């Protein structure tokens, strides 16, 4: 079995993040080796996405979660470079607007689910409602349990409707986060990414870990698995996630639709 599938969580089991090494690089010994594979994955993704679009019966939803500076933006940039922008949409979930807050927490999420034929990438997601909201708003045990039930029912409904769901947690260490946040303070071109709140959030690291461990325990399933991706090395994170995406799309064994006309009889005058 490929090492990357040991990062997969497909059942309702207790998970301890300390069992997962954020520095792991699987079968790769060098960045160059991983970049070569990533290039191959990008090419395959291009082909598979075209097929997904032509077939138009399934959709792929990629959920990206992680601590601040875990690399959600970089993951999207590196993996989806080369995929036809027409078949791909990225949604970033920020602090909910007043209008969004007037609805149930899945309202804004459901609207962003990719249509058949499309790849949808969630940069943060409905999981923020059991993460940041839990850490800062003190959800009761009952409210939290209800949200997990609602998330599971929602994802199950999407799966039944042809959506492939893959959820990735970009696992970085606290030291790596410190290095990345500090480097933003030292590069002019990264200033725009600096947010004082990211620095303040660091003090809640352990609360987030606990919240994430519950996410893995209560919302992993065979049809909507979580993957705990070692993400201290960006090149490994990219090659691991892209491999999982290629495998998932290839497993659909999609075929280009058969022509509805006798092609041989058509002539371009």
Chain positions contacting ligand ATP, by CB under 6 A = 68-69, 73, 93-96, 124, 128-129, 132-133, 193, 195, 198
CB 213 within 8 A of CB 12: no
Are 241 and 229 contacting, i.e. CB atoms less than 8 angstroms apart? yes
Q: By C-beta, is 68 or 156 nearer to ligand ATP? A: 68
Interior/surface letters 122-132, b for 16+ CB within 10 angstroms, e for the rest: bbbbbbbbbbb
Compute the least distance from the CB of residue 100 to ligand ATP, in Å.
Answer: 8
Residue range at the interface with Mg ion (CB under 5 A); choices 48-56, 90-98, 125-133, 188-196:
188-196
The nearer residue to Mg ion, 22 or 66, going by C-beta atoms, is: 66
For residue 23, the minimal CB distance to ligand ATP (Å) is 21
**Closer residue to ligand ATP, CB minimum distance, 94 or 267:** 94
Smaller CB distance to ligand ATP: residue 37 or 100? 100
Per-residue DSSP letter, 123: E
- Smallest gap from Cβ 137 to ligand ATP, in A, equals 8
Inter-residue contact 97 to 38 (CB < 8 Å)? no
Q: For the CB of residue 129, give the shortest distance to ligand ATP in the complex, in Å.
A: 5
CA–centroid distance for 255 within its chain: 25
Name the nearest CA neighbour of 25 among 235, 247, 244, 246: 235
Give the binding range for Mg ion (CB under 5 A) out of 9-17, 68-76, 109-117, 233-241: 68-76
Q: How far is CA 160 from the centre of its chain?
A: 20
Return the one option of ligand ATP, Mg ion, none that residue 128 interacts with (CB less than 5 to 8 A, by type).
ligand ATP
Query: Which CB, 206 or 223, lies closer to ligand ATP?
Result: 206
> Where does the chain show beta strands of DSSP type E?
8-9, 59-66, 88-92, 119-123, 163-171, 226-230
Q: In the complex, what is the shortest distance from the CB of residue 69 to Mg ion, in angstroms, rounded to a whole number?
A: 8
Closest residue to ligand ATP, Cβ-based? 128
Q: Which does 132 bind (CB under 5 to 8 A by kind): Mg ion, ligand ATP, none?
A: ligand ATP
Nearest-CA neighbor of 183 among 95, 74, 34? 74
C-alpha distances out from residue 7 to 99, 115, 171, 228, 260, Å: 37, 28, 11, 5, 43
Minimum CB separation of residue 133 from ligand ATP in Å reads 5
């Amino acid at each position: 079995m490929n090492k990357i599938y040991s990062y997969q969580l497909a059942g309702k089991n207790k998970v301890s993040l300390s069992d997962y090494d954020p520095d792991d690089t699987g079968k790769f010994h060098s960045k160059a080796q991983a970049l070569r594979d990533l290039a191959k994955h990008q090419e395959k993704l291009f082909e598979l996405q075209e097929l997904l679009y032509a077939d138009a019966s399934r959709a792929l939803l990629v959920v990206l979660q992680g601590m601040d500076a875990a690399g959600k933006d970089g993951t999207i940039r590196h993996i989806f470079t080369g995929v036809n922008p027409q078949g791909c949409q990225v949604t970033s979930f920020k602090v909910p607007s007043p209008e969004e807050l007037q609805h149930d927490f899945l309202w804004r999420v459901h609207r962003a689910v990719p249509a058949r034929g499309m790849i949808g990438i969630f940069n943060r997601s409905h999981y923020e409602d059991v993460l940041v909201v839990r850490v800062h708003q003190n959800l009761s045990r009952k409210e939290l349990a209800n949200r997990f039930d609602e998330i599971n029912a929602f994802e199950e409904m999407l799966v039944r409707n042809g959506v492939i769901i893959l959820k990735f947690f970009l696992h970085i260490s606290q030291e790596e986060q410190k290095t990345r946040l500090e480097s933003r303070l030292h590069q002019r071109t990264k200033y725009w990414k600096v947010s004082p709140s990211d620095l303040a959030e660091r003090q809640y690291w352990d609360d987030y870990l606990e919240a994430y461990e519950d996410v893995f325990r209560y919302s992993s399933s065979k049809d909507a698995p979580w993957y705990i991706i070692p993400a201290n090395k960006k090149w490994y994170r990219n090659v691991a996630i892209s491999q999982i995406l290629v495998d998932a799309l290839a497993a659909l064994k999609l075929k280009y639709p058969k022509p509805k006309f006798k092609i041989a009889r058509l002539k371009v005058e």
